[in-house]
A and B are shown apart, each in its own frame.
Chain A
């Protein structure tokens, strides 16, 4: 499916698109907050602690191998780090293929720029405009030993491929039994999440539809470093992976990224900031909102908050989350997609279902998420969890 021309030109292709897309007059009406706002300020990607603003901060990550930590970095935004990961995957293994709608010229979000020139149109190519065809084709290629990295242009358009993902990709290894033919080579990338003015079909975050499917790994990175390491891990994973890229971060999130190939572990959450009074859990784009809310709440309420990024939303790292909540006794979960049956529901249910954690709870688990509506163009800023709503949930939980 194709993005309307005006939106695509504006959103993606235009070389003049400002780095902070929230700053133009045109967009102001859609997604910004009033000048007097104390909490709901624009995220300052240049100073947020979510991103590594220096080489040394990027390299001190203990999840990186010693060689990477002794290496160098380069400043990249998220689409560049995805491009870098794809390029490294293509160069290190000639069975790797990258394809989808408009991938050949570089992709509508620039993620595959230069790859067809460098690795050939046999391995980096456009497909006809048909999502079920793209994913079915990718499954077949992976079944015959290729590393097939397929792109769905927007997560909003993955549904035609839902049957292929649910009934085929996810069940392939299980139904093949002793033969053990799995689909480890399959990775399906898709831009997701709100972007300020994407409305109904350029804003969705369908991750929890995939977390209800045994057999798939569902991953959403929060930053360029995470995107590169997790994407390379997904491509190498012996299981089929859904890799969701928050499109609002493609240009906005810039940090120092190690230049060599590295992987970050799947199904392992990361404690982004330790704390002792409340556990704040999120993933993807709202991590920035959470970080800002956390700073305000720590300052105003004199509390210490632990911030956790799930990174892989299924199979998820329950152990890290439960250990944190047992310590803090309070938990707030934040995600952009609808609250009902979302990731927050699973986290909250797991907390109350774990005897030990349940007994240590000082307050009910709070969920801050999209309302039970579709993403409306003019009302996006009232739908996506903002700093005020996260701050309020933290405050209510602390004061409970």
Chain B
């Protein structure tokens, strides 16, 4: 590219758009001129394979994924009920989105780094987060690795390379870009390291945050090996997508950032798995580049236990999605077609999983809470003199007014405050 424009040149040499051609016909680019980005699907709602080129997992792996999906959905039902009974402060189910989470997680490697929003229990389940870990976090007991500080459903796991979830929406998206850049640099300085990508989950509502924009733009300009996975489930709490954006969903934005993009049927677990595997290959190509996946689904559950979604959408609409198109029933039909699953196995599996979850729940509920001291720890790596002083002050007050504080359920009681 030269510094000046040659007379009569067909192309524009403005530094901001080097490949643009001149035109003498005035025409705006209208969004409606472009047809909506198609939604990739491998399997019909009846579980019939439509794309013969799709790479399918072994029956064992498929069954494991199916069980992980029903495990998440049964856990959702039980925990919502536990919250209704006041045994749990809060819960967020992921009904309808089990396919996106389990399908994409199955396509990632063990060492890949994951950032999530909060409706990704299926990712944790597929990666190997145990029921004990789920329950300890939900009940904030002494076995909770988060040490009882976070709201329920804010899981995290160092072993599984999943960063701890935080409530502010979309903040994790630029983290994913930065983390992916870190993995890229680490591999440049040590090529013997295994290739790794970062996967980042978020909803279509979170994609309206400024952090989404900042993250995708910097991921593109710094060529970061990151897969952005948007769960477009139609609602952000009560806000339908028509009030969230007017473009062609989230996928159409990826192109604008210069990012390879695909839209996929989120109720089709094989489609999700397939695009995530391909995205992983693309992300690692030529030293790294970002990919955007928009996975379409429907949020069958309420937003959270603090939400009654029938205040803003019809019960019949929800029931329709539940019955007509659902990632779990679709995979079940696929498995039944293959002859590796039937009604009796279904009943047995559901009964066992239910028992297993109830057992983990009641054990977690009985555990002591973390020591009170842990509320002052980990603010900084070392506790500051100020915090030590404040911890001593809390101890003094608790000892002077013992009848005002119930410390029995906390490991070590007041004595932990030193």
Contacts and interface: CB of A to CB of B under 8 A. Distances in A.
Contacts of B186: 95, 144-146
Given A133-B215, A138-B178, A144-B183, A174 B381 contact: no
B214 A128 contact: yes
B163 A182 contact: no
B221 A137 contact: no
A178 B145 contact: yes
A177 interface: yes
Contact of B178 (A140, A160, A173, A176): A140
A125 B179 contact: no
B147 interface: yes
A313 to B, nearest CB: 13
B171 A175 contact: no
B380 A215 contact: yes
B381 to A, nearest CB: 4
A355 interface: no
A140 B211 contact: no
Nearest to B115: A140
Interface string A309-324: 0000001001100000
Interface in B157-208: 157-158, 163-164, 166, 168, 171, 173-183, 185-186, 188-189, 198
Contacts of B213: 130, 133
B384 interface: yes
A267 to B, nearest CB: 7
Interface in B324-357: none
B379 A168 contact: no
A315 B384 contact: yes
Nearest to A97: B185
A128 B178 CA distance: 13
Contact of A173 (B145, B177, B217, B379): B379
B381 A238 contact: yes
Interface in B132-175: 144-147, 149-150, 154, 156-158, 163-164, 166, 168, 171, 173-175
B218 A128 contact: yes
Contacts of A130: 210, 213-214, 217-218
Interface in B279-313: none
B243 interface: no
A173 B145 CA distance: 12
Given A125-B222, A175-B164, A140 B156 contact: no
Contacts of A160: 210
B15 interface: no
Contact of A177 (B113, B144, B168, B176): B144
Contacts of A315: 380, 384-386
A215 B166 CA distance: 15
Interface in A345-386: none
13 contacts: A95-B185, A127-B218, A127-B221, A130-B210, A133-B174, A134-B218, A136-B174, A140-B182, A141-B179, A144-B179, A144-B186, A181-B158, A181-B164
Interface of A: 94-95, 97, 122-123, 125, 127-128, 130, 132-146, 148, 160, 163-164, 167-168, 171-182, 184, 214-215, 217, 238-239, 267, 315, 318-319
